[in-house]
Amino acid sequence: MKTSGKRRGGFLFKLAKMSWTSYIKGFATYLQLEKSLSDNSVEAYLRDVEKLHQYAALQTEAMKPEAVTREDVETFLAWLHEIGMSARTQSRVISGLRAFFDFLELEQIVKSNPLELIEAPKIGMRLPDTLSYPEIESIIEAVDLSKTEGHRDKAILEVLYSCGLRVSELIALRISYLFPLEGFVRVIGKGNKERLIPIGKSALDAIEHYRQSLRNHQSVQDGSEDYLFLNQRGRYLSRMSVFNMVKKYTSTAGIRKSVSPHTFRHSFASHLVEGGADLRAVQEMLGHESITTTEIYTHLDKSFIRNELLLYHPRGK
Supply the residues annotated as catalytic.
166, 190, 262, 265, 288, 297
DSSP annotation of 184 reads E
Report the C-alpha gap between 265 and 248 in whole angstroms: 18
Opening angle at CA 90, ends 89 and 91, nearest 5: 90
Report the C-alpha gap between 162 and 137 in whole angstroms: 12
Report the C-alpha gap between 261 and 4 in whole angstroms: 45
Distance from the Cα of residue 18 to its chain's centroid:
32
C-beta atoms surrounding 24 within 10 Å: 19
Q: Which of 301, 279, 241, 246 is nearest to 136 (CA)?
A: 246
Question: Containing H/E element for 179?
Answer: strand 178-179
Contact present, 262 and 167 (Cβ < 8 Å): yes
Contact present, 48 and 35 (Cβ < 8 Å): no
Contact present, 50 and 65 (Cβ < 8 Å): no
Report the C-alpha gap between 271 and 276 in whole angstroms: 9
Contact present, 274 and 304 (Cβ < 8 Å): yes
Opening angle at CA 65, ends 73 and 95, nearest 5: 50
Report the C-alpha gap between 97 and 13 in whole angstroms: 19
